[in-house]
C-alpha cells in the first residue's frame, strides 16, 4: 500500500481483511498446493501465491465496482490500478517475453470480463456454456494454475487442470447463489437458484413474484434437491478431471466442498420442514381462535426463526463470492 493516499490505503487494508477468510481458502492455498505437487520450490510457490493475492484483490474490487457495492471514487480507481500493476509485476519477473503464459493471461481475463453476461435461458435449459459463464467469474484463478505448470515445464497437464477448476467454480457459484438469493434479488443481481425455481425474468417488476417462488419451493417443493444434485455432479466431474493432476491439496478441497454442499442442502431441508411446521401451527391457532383469521405470514417464519440473517439455515456463510 506504500505510495497510496490515505483513502486508498485504508480501503486496501479493508479489502485484504475481506479476502483473508476461510471463504477464500482456494484462492490463497491453490498456488502452494500446486507448487508442492510440482516440486517448484518454496520461492516460486510463494511468488505465485503473492500474485494470486494481488489478482484476487483486484478482481474483488472490480466486481464490487461493477455491482455498485463500492463507489467509483478516485481512490477506488487508484487502488484497482495499483493492485493490477503489482499482480502483473510478479508475472513479468517470472514470464517476461514468454508468450504462452501471456496468451493464457489474456484468455482468462477475457472470460472474466464476459462473465457479467448472465444466462438468458431458464435453469432447466442451461447449456454447458451457460454454466461455464457463471464459473468464469473466477476465471483469473486459472492464471496462477497456468503459471505453475509452465514453470514446471508440464504444459500438457493444463487442459485437465483448467477443466477441474472450471467444474469446481461452477459448483461453488451455484452453492453461493442458493445462499445469497435474497441479497441478489434485493440488489438486482442475477441468481441461478432463483432461475431454478422461477422461469420469470429477474427484473424489478418480477422481484416479488420471484421471491414468492423461492419461498414456495422451500415450503412445499423439493427444497432445491435437484439443484443440489447438479452441484454434486459438477464436483464429481471436477474430481474425475483432477485425478491425473496428482495435487492432493486440490483433491481434499473438492471433497470438502462436496461435504459443504451436502451439509447445506440437508440444513436447508431441515429448516424448511421446521418453518413449515411452525407456520402450520400458527395457521391452525389463528383459524380456531374466536374471531381468528388466516395467517399468511408463513414466509416470516423462515427469516425470523430457523433461517439465518443471510437466508441460510443457521446463518452459514458463502463458500466463495
Contacts of the segment 213-222: beta carbons below 8 A, 24+ positions apart: 214/181, 214/185, 215/298, 215/299, 215/302, 218/268, 218/272, 218/275, 218/302, 219/272, 219/275, 219/276, 219/279, 219/298, 219/302, 220/276, 221/197
Helix or strand run (H / E) with residue 11:
helix 6-19
Report d(CA 134, CA 271) in Å as an integer.
27
In three-state secondary structure terms, 313 is: strand
Q: So what's the pLDDT on residue 147?
A: 95
**Separation CA 301–CA 185 (nearest Å):** 19
CA separation, residue 176 to residues 43, 234, 250, 310 (Å): 34, 14, 19, 11
Q: Which residue has the higher pLDDT, 308 or 254?
A: 254
The torsion angles phi and psi of 313, rounded to 5 degrees, stand at: -65, 125
320 pLDDT above the threshold of 70: no
pLDDT of the residue at 79: 85
Distances (CA, A) of 145 to 52, 127, 148, 150, 209: 10, 26, 5, 9, 42
**pLDDT beyond 50 at 41:** yes
Average pLDDT over residues 143-170: 93
How far lies 74's CA from each of 14, 15, 57, 199, in Å?
Answer: 17, 16, 17, 40
Q: Which residue has the cell 509452465?
A: 150
Residue 122 has pLDDT above 70, yes or no: yes
Q: Which residue has the higher pLDDT, 301 or 131?
A: 131
Q: Lowest mean pLDDT: which of 48-62, 83-97, 172-186?
A: 48-62
Q: What is the pLDDT of residue 3?
A: 60
3-state secondary structure of 307: strand
pLDDT-derived band at 301 (thresholds 50, 70, 90) equals very low
Residues whose CB falls within 8 Å of the CB of residue 137, separated by 6 or more in sequence, listed in order: 63, 112, 115, 169, 173
Distance CA 246, CA 75 (A): 43
pLDDT in the model for residue 278:
67
Q: How far apart are CA 24 and CA 30, in angstroms?
A: 10
- Mean pLDDT for 139-157 is 92
CA distances from 5 to 11, 56, 70, 76, 101 (A): 10, 21, 17, 11, 33
Percent residues over pLDDT 70 in the chain: 80
pLDDT band at 23 (very low <50, low <70, confident <90, very high): low
Residue 78 is predicted with a pLDDT of 85
pLDDT of 318 > 80? The answer is no
User: What is the Cβ-side half-sphere exposure of residue 259, based on CA atoms within 13 angstroms?
Assistant: 6
What confidence tier does 66 reach under pLDDT thresholds 50, 70, 90?
confident
Element (H, E) at 105: helix 99-114
pTM equals 0.83
Positive or negative: CA dihedral 10, 12, 15, 17: negative
Q: Where are the domains of the chain?
A: 167-321
Predicted pLDDT of residue 302: 46
Per-residue pLDDT at 287:
67
How confident is the model over 3-19, as pLDDT tens digits?
666 777 777 777 777 77
Lowest mean pLDDT among 239-253, 266-280, 306-320: 306-320
Residue 54 clears pLDDT 80, i.e. is over it: yes
Q: CA–CA separation, 231 vs 254, rounded Å?
A: 12
Q: Report phi then psi at 307, rounded to 5.
A: -105, 145
CB 139 within 8 A of CB 115: yes
Contact by Cβ (8 Å): 123, 194: no
Task: Provide the mean pLDDT of the chain.
Answer: 83
Do residues 254 and 232 touch, judged by C-beta distance below 8 A? no
Residue 88 has a pLDDT of 96
Using pLDDT thresholds of 50, 70 and 90, give the confidence band for residue 236: very high
Amino acid at each position: 500500500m506504500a505510495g497510496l493516499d490515505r483513502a486508498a490505503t485504508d480501503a486496501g487494508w479493508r479489502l485484504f481483511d475481506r479476502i483473508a477468510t476461510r471463504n477464500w481458502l482456494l484462492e490463497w492455498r491453490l498456488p502452494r498446493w500446486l507448487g508442492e505437487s510440482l516440486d517448484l520450490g518454496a520461492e516460486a510457490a510463494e511468488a505465485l501465491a503473492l500474485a494470486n493475492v494481488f489478482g484476487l484483490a483486484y478482481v474483488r474490487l472490480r466486481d464490487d465496482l461493477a455491482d455498485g457495492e463500492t463507489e467509483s471514487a478516485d481512490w477506488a480507481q487508484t487502488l484497482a490500478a495499483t493492485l493490477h500493476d503489482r499482480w502483473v509485476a510478479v508475472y513479468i519477473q517470472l514470464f517476461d517475453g514468454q508468450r504462452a503464459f501471456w496468451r493464457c493471461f489474456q484468455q482468462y481475463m477475457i472470460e472474466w470480463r464476459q462473465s457479467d453476461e448472465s444466462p438468458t435461458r431458464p435453469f432447466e435449459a442451461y447449456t454447458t456454456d451457460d454454466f461455464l459463464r457463471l464459473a468464469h467469474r473466477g476465471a483469473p484463478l486459472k492464471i496462477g494454475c497456468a503459471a505453475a505448470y509452465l514453470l514446471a515445464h508440464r504444459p500438457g497437464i493444463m487442459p485437465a487442470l483448467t477443466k477441474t477448476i472450471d467444474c469446481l467454480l461452477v459448483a461453488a457459484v451455484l452453492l453461493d447463489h442458493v445462499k445469497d438469493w435474497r441479497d441478489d434479488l434485493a440488489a438486482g443481481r442475477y441468481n441461478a437458484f432463483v432461475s431454478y425455481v422461477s422461469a420469470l425474468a429477474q427484473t424489478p417488476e418480477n422481484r416479488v413474484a420471484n421471491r414468492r417462488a423461492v419461498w414456495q419451493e422451500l415450503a412445499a417443493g423439493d427444497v432445491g434437491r435437484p439443484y443440489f444434485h447438479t452441484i454434486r455432479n459438477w464436483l464429481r466431474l471436477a474430481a474425475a478431471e483432477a485425478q491425473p493432476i496428482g495435487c492432493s491439496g486440490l483433491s481434499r478441497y473438492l471433497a470438502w466442498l462436496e461435504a459443504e454442499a451436502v451439509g447445506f442442502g440437508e440444513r436447508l431441508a431441515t429448516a424448511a420442514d421446521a418453518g413449515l411446521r411452525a407456520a402450520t401451527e400458527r395457521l391452525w391457532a389463528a383459524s380456531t381462535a374466536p374471531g381468528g383469521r388466516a395467517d399468511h405470514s408463513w414466509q416470516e417464519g423462515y427469516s425470523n426463526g430457523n433461517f439465518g440473517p443471510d437466508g441460510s439455515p443457521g446463518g452459514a456463510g458463502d463458500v466463495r463470492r
